[in-house]
Amino acid sequence: MNAQEGAVGAMERIAKKIAPHSLSPNLKDYDKESRAFSWEGARGQLDGLPDGSLNIAYEAVDRHLLKGRADKVAIRWLSKSGSRKDITYGQLAEDTDRFARLLTNLGLNPGDRVFSMLGRVPELYIAALGTLKAGMVFSPLFSAFGPEPVKTRLIIGEAACLITSAPLYRRKIASIRNELPKLEHVLIIDPGEDELPEGLHGLPALLSQTEADFQTVATDPEDMALLHFTSGTTGTPKGAVHVHAAVIAHHVTGQYALDLHEDDIYWCTADPGWVTGMSYGIIAPLTNATTMIVNEAEFDVDQWYDVLEKERVSVWYTAPTAIRMLMKAGKERLEGRDLSHLRFMSSVGEPLNPEAVVWSDEAFGMPFHDNWWQTETGGIMIANYASMDVKPGSMGKPLPGIEAAIVDNRNGNVTVLEEPNEIGELALRTGWPSIMRAYLNNPEKFEKCFVGEWYLTGDLAVQDEDGYFWFVGRADDVIKSAGHLIGPFEVESSLIEHPGVAEAGVIGIPDERMGEVVKAYVTLNSGFQWSEELRKELIGFARKRLGPAVAPREIEVRNTLPKTRSGKIMRRLLKARELGLPEGDISTLESDES
């Protein structure tokens, strides 16, 4: 059995659904568009700056003013306390000009690194775009990081400036400040009445003395623009370097994979501390001139449904972990709601279980469209498109302009596996504009990602006879049992088809006879109690679907599974804890119970 058979099993494909009131999809004919596509052509959709310069913030903000969009709402911010603030493209241009001027007045120069550690507040969005306008490099950190992960990232990234809040500064920075000699300026968004200690600036006062006149720096397309940290299994986090040219990919993938149209009200639920929240929670929606929703609050089923309904969201981009929580809460929570303006839903970050796709089709009348990419790829690489049937459990097909293949990379040589449904490593032919240009100060790790013209993703996958890609697992997470390669995703997907199971995390544990055997950890839906009977029932249930070679031998219950802050189940941590091994880099771990 391979991932595809396991995933599709009883499920048919979901025929493309384009609601009668919907706009015609941007990507109407996948094959035709893929043949006609060129990255030069895509760049032509952007305005650029003189002499071949390109700046992300110019494309996201300034150019809209010349196109009569100054009064259009760019960001609709929903605060935790329930208030609402609209920022038009005109206002955003002014606020980001002022912020860029302020950085320059502080003596910072193009290329300097500006970090943020903020919740989803307007200052974060203004700082990101203002920094890019100033030709400086922006690096967003999750506000929930503790002092150690913050320190590591500020040091690796050689932060010259940090924008944060007074409580976050007190809790996470004050104690490490003297270990950060390169950090010259800290801007506090809410300084209060008391005088600030040396080296801290109150942002509101500084801004009130700063003119909103700034000419966006004419950056070279290859100038560094963004720094996103990604943590591996061991060692320190790697800083993936992205350049201004990435905006070309953000812009077109926003059109193709998210089907963004100018009149959309678009909501990306990701935090900008994660690459999705930057590429698709700031850049792509703005270059495409949509109105984007920023929701400051954390996940809550009814609040999320309120946002969808009251803000008349038309395109929604979220993650499997949230979708599974919505499933757990039940379809009834949607009863009586008017979501008629919603026309496209997509998901990223983790494998989207086929069960979740089918559920969403029943609950919302349209399926979630899964798409796949990584911090390193800078933008969406494989997706299910509005104009294509969805095969539940599949990641879809490569974006126009992207060549993806399943390869065998055993001896440092890459061989493309031509036969459909063979498991191999997912590889992408280099040459798209948003691929990382380096891991900061870590050339060895960077070079290891490439063989010849191929970028190796570290994910195992298969491609079926129709050209759809199916995720099998991270190469590190794949289980080798009695000569079979077992992807944790197919086992997890089959377990969550059981009505009692909300989430599942699957690992391999050493076994003398089999090499490894499959072990699963599950969380339960409300109304279900863990018992020996339920454990046996789940094992039987999985065996029926997957066969005895693939089904878990052991199942344990947990109240929660360890996850990253971006919502990915941390299988390697489940494994390390099971086997009593070192936990490695856990800086991205969301606090968990175990």
The residue ranges that bind ligand AMP (CB under 6 A) are 230, 275, 348-352, 370-372, 374-375, 395, 457, 459, 471, 474, 566
- What is the three-class DSSP state of 302? helix
What single-letter amino acid sits at 206?
L
Q: Closest CB to ligand AMP among 93 and 426? A: 426
Shortest separation between residue 347's beta carbon and ligand AMP, angstroms: 7
Q: Closest CB to ligand AMP among 307 and 348? A: 348
Please name the residues in contact with 40: beta carbons below 8 A apart, sequence gap of 6 or more: none
Q: Closest CB to ligand AMP among 314 and 371? A: 371
* Alpha-carbon span 454 to 281, nearest angstrom: 28
Q: Closest CB to ligand AMP among 48 and 232? A: 232
* Alpha-carbon span 330 to 285, nearest angstrom: 30
Show the tokens assigned to 287.
Answer: 């270059």
Shortest separation between residue 375's beta carbon and ligand AMP, angstroms: 3
Q: Closest CB to ligand AMP among 88 and 371? A: 371
Shortest separation between residue 417's beta carbon and ligand AMP, angstroms: 19
- What is the three-class DSSP state of 159? strand
Shortest separation between residue 373's beta carbon and ligand AMP, angstroms: 6
Shortest separation between residue 374's beta carbon and ligand AMP, angstroms: 4
Q: Closest CB to ligand AMP among 348 and 557? A: 348
Residue whose tokens read 């698709």:
280
Shortest separation between residue 499's beta carbon and ligand AMP, angstroms: 24
Q: Closest CB to ligand AMP among 166 and 456? A: 456
Q: Closest CB to ligand AMP among 61 and 275? A: 275
Q: Closest CB to ligand AMP among 3 and 555? A: 3
- How far from each other are the two terminal CA atoms of the chain, in whole angstroms? 33
Which residues on adjacent β-strands are paired with residue 426? Answer: 406
Please name the residues in contact with 584: beta carbons below 8 A apart, sequence gap of 6 or more: 233, 234, 572, 573, 576
CB atoms near residue 45 (< 10 Å) = 13
- What is the three-class DSSP state of 563? strand
Q: Closest CB to ligand AMP among 218 and 322? A: 322
Q: Is the dihedral of CA 416, 421, 424, 429 positive or negative?
A: positive
Q: In which order are the strands placed within the sheet that holds 185-188?
A: 200-202, 185-188, 159-164, 113-117, 137-141, 224-230, 238-243, 438-439
Any idea what the Cα angle at residue 154 is, between residues 148 and 157, rounded to 5°? 135
| 3-state secondary structure string across 47-71 | CCEHHHECCHHHHHHHHHHCCCCCC
Q: Is 472 left (phi over 0), alpha (psi -120 to 50) or beta?
A: alpha
| 3-state secondary structure string across 205-264 | HHHHCCCCCCCCCCCCCCCEEEEEEECCCCCCCEEEEEECCHHHHHHHHHHHCCCCCCCC
Q: Is the dihedral of CA 284, 285, 286, 289 positive or negative?
A: positive
Shortest separation between residue 230's beta carbon and ligand AMP, angstroms: 5
Q: Closest CB to ligand AMP among 76 and 324? A: 324
Which residues on adjacent β-strands are paired with residue 569? Answer: 563
* Alpha-carbon span 99 to 573, nearest angstrom: 41
Shortest separation between residue 395's beta carbon and ligand AMP, angstroms: 5
Shortest separation between residue 388's beta carbon and ligand AMP, angstroms: 15
Shortest separation between residue 383's beta carbon and ligand AMP, angstroms: 9
CA-wise closest residue to 472 among 356, 358, 372:
372
Shortest separation between residue 592's beta carbon and ligand AMP, angstroms: 18
Shortest separation between residue 429's beta carbon and ligand AMP, angstroms: 17
Q: Closest CB to ligand AMP among 230 and 303? A: 230
